[in-house]
Amino acid sequence: MAKRKPLTDVAGEVREITATDYARAKPFSGLPKRLQAALRKVGQRGPQIAPTKKLVSLRLSANVLEHYKATGPGWQTRIDEALKRTVERRGKAAARVVSKD
């Protein structure tokens, strides 16, 4: 069996793909199942180890939504953080009221 020519050189540059390379290529479905499971499609998230959030449908005021979306990617996380701060503040305020009794 002939030695296969590597796809990259020592500098890491990828060489031109040849007809022989294409002939040796296998479809994704031809890969071992364990390897298929390890590879994800572009944009696909892996399984969460410990899911910490719940998917909900929530109606927000248009101005609130516009404000957060204008801050760029991650706007949903920032809304979540703002809501968490509110919950923490109210929880501390409620604890102070209870402790005064």
Contact, 101 vs 95, CB < 8 A?
no
**Count of alpha carbons within 13 Å of 63, Cβ hemisphere only?**
0
Q: What is the pLDDT of residue 87?
A: 92
Q: What is the pLDDT of residue 99?
A: 59
Task: State the average pLDDT over residues 91-98.
Answer: 70
> Looking at the domain assignment, is residue 26 inside a domain?
no
At 47-93, the pLDDT tens digits run: 777 777 888 999 999 999 999 999 999 999 999 999 999 999 988 77
Domain that holds residue 66: 62-100
pTM: 0.46
Report the alpha-carbon distance of residue 25 to residue 50 in Å, rounded. 37
What is the band of 4 on the pLDDT scale with cuts at 50, 70, 90?
confident
> Looking at the domain assignment, is residue 77 inside a domain?
yes
Contact, 8 vs 14, CB < 8 A?
yes
At 33, the amino acid letter reads K
Contact, 73 vs 80, CB < 8 A?
no
> Looking at the domain assignment, is residue 74 inside a domain?
yes
At 10-57, the pLDDT tens digits run: 888 998 888 988 888 888 888 888 888 888 777 777 777 777 788 899
Q: What is the pLDDT of residue 62?
A: 96
Our count of domains for the chain comes to: 1
